[in-house]
Amino acid sequence: METMMILIIGVLVVVATYLLLSKNIIRIILGTALLSHAVHLLILTIGEVKKGDVPLLKETPGPYTDALPQALILTAIVISFGVTSFILVLAYRAYAQNKTDDMEEMRGDEHE
């Protein structure tokens, strides 16, 4: 299971990196979204999968899966949502200002 998971993560990283290196700003944003998916899965996978029960003390007798990675990922999900929305709006504003969504055209002057 873990081997397969890591391979998926690998594919996600490759796609995300390729998207990040594009010119179009929407592709770049999609790249960050994909990269965060990959990282979330990675944290969970490395913290031993399917080794215990749902970490709810009253519901199941245990042993429980590691709850710490889950807490970390929960935080990460919300933060990456905040970041994604921020860059999206940045893209929107940049387009309104510069009339382009091509990052190479937004490079600015040589000595700014």
Partner 1 sequence: MITKWAIILPFIVAFIIPMIRSKLKKTHIGWIALIVPIVLFIALLRFIPQVAAGKVYEHTWQWIPSLDLSFTTYLDGLSMLFALLITGMGALVILYSIFYLSQKEALHKFYCYLLIFMTAMLGVVFSDHFIMLYFFWELTSVSSFLLIAFWHHRKASRRGAQKSMLITVSGGVAMLIGFLMIAHMTGSYSIREAIQIMPTELTNTLFIPAMVLVLLGAFTKSAQFPFHIWLPDAMEAPTPVSAYLHSATMVKAGIYLVARLTPLFAINQSWFWTVTIVGLMTMFWGSFNAVKQTDLKALLAFSTISQLGIIMSLLGMGSLVYVFGYSPATVIYTQAGFAALFHLLNHATFKGALFMMVGIVDHEVGSRDIRRLGGLMSIMPFTFTIAMIGSLSMAGIPFFNGFLSKEMFFEAALRIQQADLYSSTAMLSIIPVIVWVGSVFTFIYCTILIVKTFFGSKDKLPRDRKIHEAPKGMLISPFILVTLVVIMFFVPNFFARYLFSPAMLSLYPNTGTMEQLTPHIAAWHGFNTPLLMTIAVVIIGVILFKLLPKWRGIYNTLPERFTLNVLYDRGQNEVENVGRFMTNLYMTGSIRHYIIYIYLFFIVVVGGYFIKSDSFAFDMTKNAPIEWYEISLMAVMIIAAILILRAKSRLTAVVLNGVLGFGVSIFFVLFRAPDLALTQLVVESVTTVLFLLCFTYLPEWKKEDTPKYTKLINMAIALSAGVLVVILSFAVLHYDEFKTISGFFENAYELAGGANIVNTILGDFRAFDTMLEVVVLLTAGIGVYTLIKLKPRKERKKNEDQ
Partner 2 sequence: MKINDLILRTVVQFVVFIVLTIAIYLFFAGHYTPGGGFVAGLVLASAVVMLYISFDTDTVRKGLPLDFKIVAAIGVTLALLSGILPMLFGQPFLKMSSMNIQFPLIGEKTLATVMIFELGVALTVVGVVMTIILSISEGSDD
H or E stretch covering 87: helix 67-98
The structure tokens listed for 58 are 């009253």
37 in contact with partner 1 (CB under 8 A): yes
Kindly report the number of other CB atoms within 10 A of residue 15's CB atom. 15
Binding site for partner 2 (CB under 8 A): 56-59, 74, 78, 82, 85, 88-89, 92-93, 96
Rounded to the nearest whole angstrom, what is the least distance from the CB of residue 58 to partner 2 in the complex?
5
Mapped onto helix, strand or coil, the DSSP state of residue 102 is strand
Decide which of partner 2, partner 1, none touches 50; Cβ closer than 5 to 8 Å per partner kind: partner 1
Rounded to the nearest whole angstrom, what is the least distance from the CB of residue 103 to partner 1 in the complex?
5
Q: CB nearer to partner 2: give 7 or 78.
A: 78
Within residues 91-110, the interface with partner 1 by CB under 8 A covers 91-93, 95-96, 101, 103-104, 107-108, 110
Q: CB nearer to partner 2: give 11 or 54.
A: 54
77 in contact with partner 1 (CB under 8 A): yes
Residue for token pair 């921020």? 86
Residue 2 CA neighbour count, 13 Å, CB half:
10
CA distance 87 to 36: 14
